[in-house]
């Protein structure tokens, strides 16, 4: 389990580094465009580039956000239950969530494939944009990995390993 946790952290923190780089690039590209616009020479395609970088920033931070449990949730009701019940509910929640985002990721890969096959180009820069759709699908996969680990942890809390006594 410890080994799996390490892999999860490595993947999602690595993706967060890429997301951070995309965020900084987005800031610089936008500032440069605003500056050049003042001289009537805006950067062509800024709108598209910023949109794609924003997609990469958000998608590659999904799993990292889950590592820090920062997706907003409400524990008004669940905190009233005992530890075992709470863990069982959490396991169920994580299972449902990972199935949901597994489906999101899978459908995003299919969608990226469709965009690629259709040969769609972006409106301004006239370049293929399907790689960015693939990157969003990969970002969702990062969240799925974090959710799988959360699910396993909840299961472990639900059925703690017996350290003393014998069968």
Partner 1 sequence: MNPTTVAVLGIVLMFVLMMLRVPVAFAMLLAGVIGNAYLLTTGVSLHIMATNVWGQFASYSLSVVPLFVLMGQITFHSGVTERLYNAAHKWVGRLPGGLAATTILASMGFAAICGSNSATAATMGTVALPEMKRYKYDGALSTGAVAIGGTLGVVIPPSVVLIIIAVQTEQSIVKLFLANIIPGVILTALLLATVFVVAFRNPTLGPPADSTTWKEKFTSLTGVVEAIALFALVIGGLYAGWFTPTQAGAAGAFGAIIIGFARRTLSLKGLHLAIGETLRTSAMVVLLITGAVLFGKFLTVTRLPFDLAEWATGLPIPPIGILGVVLFIYLIGGCLMDALGFLVATIPIFFPLAVALGYDPIWFTVMLTLVTTMGAVTPPVGVNVYIVSGLVPDIPIQTIFRGVMVFLIAYVIVLLLLVVFPQLALFLPNSL
Chain residues in the site for partner 1 (CB under 8 A): 16, 19-20, 23-24, 26-28, 30-31, 33-34, 47, 50-55, 57-59, 61-62, 64-65, 68, 70-78, 89-90, 92-93, 96-97, 100-101, 103-104, 107-108, 110-111, 132-133, 136, 140
- The CA distance from 29 to 37, in Å, is 12
- The CA distance from 54 to 62, in Å, is 13
Residue with tokens 């965009």: 115
Is the CB of 68 or the CB of 165 nearer to partner 1? 68
Is the CB of 87 or the CB of 164 nearer to partner 1? 87
Is the CB of 4 or the CB of 36 nearer to partner 1? 36
Instruction: Identify which of 85, 64, 59 has the alpha carbon closest to the alpha carbon of residue 10.
Output: 64
Minimum separation from the CB atom of position 167 to partner 1 (A)? 34
Is the CB of 89 or the CB of 125 nearer to partner 1? 89
Minimum separation from the CB atom of position 35 to partner 1 (A)? 9
- Measured from the Cβ of residue 57, the count of other Cβ atoms closer than 10 Å reads 20
Is the CB of 2 or the CB of 79 nearer to partner 1? 79
Secondary structure letter of residue 44 according to DSSP: T
Exposed e or buried b per residue across 74-105, where buried means at least 16 C-beta atoms within 10 angstroms of its C-beta: eeeeeeeeeeeebbbebbebbbebbeebbebb
Residue with tokens 């990721």: 105
């Amino acid at each position: 389990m410890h080994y799996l946790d390490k892999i999860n952290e490595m993947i999602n923190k690595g993706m967060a580094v890429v997301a951070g780089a995309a965020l900084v690039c987005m800031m610089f590209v936008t500032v440069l465009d605003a500056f050049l616009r003042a001289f009537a020479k805006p950067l062509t395609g800024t709108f598209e580039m910023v949109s794609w970088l924003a997609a990469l920033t958000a998608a590659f931070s999904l799993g990292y956000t889950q590592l820090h449990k920062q997706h907003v949730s409400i524990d008004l009701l669940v905190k009233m239950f005992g530890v075992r019940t709470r863990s069982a509910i959490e396991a169920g929640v994580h299972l449902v969530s990972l199935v949901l985002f597994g489906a999101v990721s899978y459908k995003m890969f299919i969608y990226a494939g469709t965009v690629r096959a259709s040969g769609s180009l972006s409106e301004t820069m006239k370049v293929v944009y399907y790689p960015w759709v693939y990157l969003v699908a990969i970002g969702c996969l990062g969240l799925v990995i974090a959710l799988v680990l959360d699910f396993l942890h909840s299961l472990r809390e639900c059925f703690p390993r017996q350290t003393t006594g014998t069968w």
